[in-house]
Homo-oligomer: A and B are copies of this chain.
Amino acid sequence: MEKGSGSPAAGGSCPQKNAEILSSQYGINLFLAGLLLTFAWAVHAVGISKSHLLSYLITLMFIQLLWMLWYLCRSCTQRRLIRDKDTHAGARWLKCGITLFAVITLILDSFKVGYYIDFSNCLSPTEGIFPVTHAAHTILQVYFLWCHAKDIIQSFKTLERFGVIHSVFTNLLLWTNGVLTESKHQLNEHKERLITLGFGNITIVLDDHAPQCNCTTTTLCSIFSQGIYYLYPFNIEYHILASTMLYVLWKNIGRKVEHHQQHKTPFKFHGITVGMIFGLIVLTSTIAVVVVYLIQIGRSKVKSELALTMFYLHAIFVLALMCTAGVVALLIYRLEDRSLDNSKNPARKLDAELLVGTAAGSWLLSWGSILAIICAQAHPKYTWYNLPYSVLVIIEKYIQNLFIIESIHREQEKANDDIKTLRIVTISRGSTLSLTPSYKEIYNGRATCDIGELPCLVSSSICARESDGGGSANKETNQGNSPVMHSASEFSFYSRSSVADNKRRILKNIAAFLFLCNLSLWIPPAFGCRPEYDNGLEEIVFGFEPWIIVVNLAMPFSIFYRMHSAASLFEVNCKT
């Protein structure tokens, strides 16, 4: 395509495969070194302070900034060249989502700068440089992703591969850093609650709680230090999203794509009212529950138990609804046996892997709870709600993953199927209508239109001959094995499209409902509503330290799962 590519027609060339492994190994080492630094900071290693870690992160961000500037300049100067684009990568709503998170991240950065100014006497300069660099990094990265997330890079493969993988792992490290800060904060809050409740048997040491000096402007200080922790969840989501988008960009380097028509599928509120209403009810009730929970928990033993009971009952109800919705959707899919689109698509493959991979985080926690309930010697009443809750968490994610992965793999060419049916109908009837070609043109032009709104010409001519319900005939049409059609199926077209339309509407509503439910379920863990801590049962069975480690390792994935499945369900809604 451009100079320096020279890729052979068949099979990949050695330098390309080499560049892939070279760069991925570089990225992994970059990440591991940063991970060790983060770990060292977390365990208060001798001789390693937070400023070392921040310096490392600043360096990485700076290199990425330089690389992005180079890339942007190069693509500006070479604008004339036609570039391949991966139509599946970097969807518009994904870009909008990341922009929203980035804006909140910028607010977080400004808060951090303010915090640094307030405590500048006792904080190292890196704590001031870090948010400034981070803000610049965020702005340029969002611009970069808006312009180049769909790129399929074909030239200068090695340098570009290194730059992209560097960006992927820089974002992953920033994510890790955010997760750790957030976990430390949650753990401190939990420990403070334990102190309030009078548990003296645990060695409680508050970790990185507050700087060693006084604030210069007392009023702003508490706003900054409190506000930061409400903004962290968005910062965390921003980095993991950026990381996945960049990873797809990396996987796309040197790829060859077949150009096929891209269906623009804009999001429409029309036709998903029921799903939206139920979803919004769940969303508002969840927010109410979280607020009550955070106010009540840790006040006294009775109030804590009440808060936990309320939380569990609410969650059990929501999860049961979600399971039901998921099962209904899967049953609808089983009724219509359609083939899957198995073409190569890195964005979709990553989506599916992330869904199953990150669900494992919350499954681990749930199995921990189940084990704890089975093995515990004493069972306060409220702990029993934990059992159905944990079981439902496992089942709900199981079903939801099945639904999402099947949805994103289904072939979108709904129109073609129906045209085929129509053709067969007209041919088998041996009629002289000969409207097939003209209808096909009309139909292809508006591929996403409702099948219910058939052109009057066609629908009337077929409807007139409609005789029986298309239930059994429907199955036969779908099998597609026998070229010879039964005479019963001749007349089933209208009723079939009506049934399909109904199915589609149900699926859209379910996707919308599940989308809002997943957004709702993202809120409690992201904003510090963690029954895994407050419940106490697991801590007694596994021990305080081991269980805290498990929760802190698994929780980030569990939180990410909710945001990621919400994003996937939004896509499902658009596609259905």
Partner of A45, one of B15, B48, B360, B543: B543
Partner of A47, one of B32, B376, B394, B480: B376
Q: Are B546 and A39 in contact (CB under 8 A)?
A: yes
What 1/0 mask marks residues of chain A from 421 to 452 whose CB sits below 8 Å from any chain B CB?
Answer: 00000000000000000000000000000000
Bound-complex Cα distance A10 to B569 (A): 26
> With A18-B402, A28-B356, A29-B363 in contact, do A340 and B13 touch (Cβ < 8 Å)?
yes
> With A363-B28, A540-B46 in contact, do A342 and B11 touch (Cβ < 8 Å)?
yes
Given contacts A17-B340, A40-B541, 15 further A-B contacts (CB under 8 A): A12-B342, A14-B338, A14-B339, A14-B410, A25-B356, A28-B363, A32-B364, A35-B364, A37-B371, A40-B371, A40-B542, A45-B542, A45-B546, A46-B377, A48-B375
> With A25-B356, A371-B40, A550-B39 in contact, do A339 and B46 touch (Cβ < 8 Å)?
no
Interface residues of A in 340-398 (CB under 8 A from B): 340-342, 352, 356, 359-360, 363-364, 367-368, 370-371, 375-377, 394, 398
Q: Are A47 and B368 in contact (CB under 8 A)?
A: no
> With A10-B339, A368-B36, A402-B22 in contact, do A17 and B409 touch (Cβ < 8 Å)?
yes
Partner of A46, one of B24, B37, B541: B541
Interface residues of A in 1-32 (CB under 8 A from B): 8, 10-15, 17-18, 21-22, 24-25, 28-29, 32
Q: Are B25 and A367 in contact (CB under 8 A)?
A: no
Q: Are B543 and A32 in contact (CB under 8 A)?
A: no
| Interface residue total, chain A, C-beta cutoff 8 A | 65
Bound-complex Cα distance A369 to B301 (A): 46
Q: Are B376 and A43 in contact (CB under 8 A)?
A: no
CB of A337 within 8 A of chain B? yes
> With A47-B541, A367-B33, A371-B40 in contact, do A17 and B341 touch (Cβ < 8 Å)?
no
Bound-complex Cα distance A29 to B18 (A): 36
Q: Are B546 and A43 in contact (CB under 8 A)?
A: yes
A476 nearest CB across to chain B (Å): 15
Interface residues of A in 37-59 (CB under 8 A from B): 37, 39-40, 43-48
CB of A84 within 8 A of chain B? no
Give the chain B neighbours of A576 by CB distance below 8 A.
none
Q: Are A405 and B371 in contact (CB under 8 A)?
A: no
Partner of A48, one of B28, B36, B541: B541
Interface residues of A in 148-175 (CB under 8 A from B): none
Give the chain B neighbours of A367 by CB distance below 8 A.
29, 32-33, 36
A364 nearest CB across to chain B (Å): 5
A186 nearest CB across to chain B (Å): 20
Partner of A21, one of B364, B402, B411: B402
Can you give 6 A-B contacts (C-beta < 8 A)?
A25-B402, A29-B398, A36-B364, A45-B541, A45-B543, A48-B371
A411 nearest in chain B by CB position = B11
3 shortest interchain CB distances as A-B pairs: A47-B375, A43-B546, A11-B339
CB of A278 within 8 A of chain B? no
A377 nearest CB across to chain B (Å): 6
Give the chain B neighbours of A495 by CB distance below 8 A.
none
CB of A501 within 8 A of chain B? no
